Amino acid sequence: MNGKHRIEQFWNALIAKPNNSDLALVSRILPAELMVLFYQMTRDEQAHSIRVCRRLIAEGESESDLLAAALLHDIGKINYPLRLWERVWIVLWSMIKNDRNRTNWQVPWKEINQHPWWKRALIVAENHAEWGSQILQDYHANPRIIWLVRYHQEGKENGNWNKDRILLEKLKRADDLC
C-alpha cells in the first residue's frame, strides 16, 4: 500500500457515516439476525465494509455469501473496537514490520486487556478474523460466510482453486483496496 492510499483510508475513517442508500444495500444483503451484528460495528467499520461490498458489486459480483462476508469481514472487531489512533498504530507497525508480517499473537479476545496498550490494537488486527468467525458461528451464519470471514486476512491459499477460494481472493483484494 502506498502513502496516498493510507491517507485516503485515514480520511474515510474520519468522515465515515453510512447513508440511507448504504443501509438499504445492507438490508438487501444481510438477513435480520446478521444485521444486528453489522450495527454493532463502529460507523467507520460499517462504512469500510460497505465500500468493500460496493467494490465487489461494481466488479460484477452478485454471490450473496461473498457480499454478506464483505459486510461482515471485520465483525470480530466488535470485541474490542479500535480508536482511530490505534488504527494508525497498526499501519505504522506494519510498515516497521515490513507490511503484513504477522506477529503470531493468538489471543482470546477476553484476555486482550492483560496486554500492554501498544500491543492491544495489534492483537485485534491479527485475531479479528478468527473472532469474527466465532461470532458468526454463534449467530448460526452460513458456513461459507463464516469461512470467508475467517480467512479474509490470510496469505494466499494453497491447494485447489475451487469457487470458494476464488471468492476469498476477491474479498481479500477488495478489502485491501478499500
Cell of 67: 457480499
Say if residues 29 and 71 touch (Cβ distance below 8 Å).
yes
pLDDT tier at 145, thresholds 50, 70, 90: very high
- Which residue, 140, 144, 168, 164, is CA-closest to 155? 168
Greater model confidence, 23 or 99: 23
Chain Cα centroid distance, residue 3: 20
Count up the domains in the chain and report the number: 1
Q: What is the percent of the chain with per-residue pLDDT over 90, rounded to a whole number?
A: 53
DSSP string, 77-134: GGGSPPPHHHHHHHHHHHHHTTSS--------GGGGGGS-HHHHHHHHHHHHHHHHHH
pLDDT tier at 161, thresholds 50, 70, 90: low
Q: Out of 39-53, 58-72, 81-95, 154-168, pick the least confident.
A: 154-168
**Rounded distance between C-alpha atoms, residue 153 and residue 126, angstroms:** 8
Q: What is the percent of the chain with per-residue pLDDT over 70, rounded to a whole number?
A: 83
| Domain assignment of residue 37, given as a range | 3-177
pLDDT at 61 over 90: yes
- Would you state the pLDDT for residue 37? 97
pLDDT at 29 over 50: yes
pLDDT tier at 159, thresholds 50, 70, 90: very low
- pTM for the full predicted model: 0.82
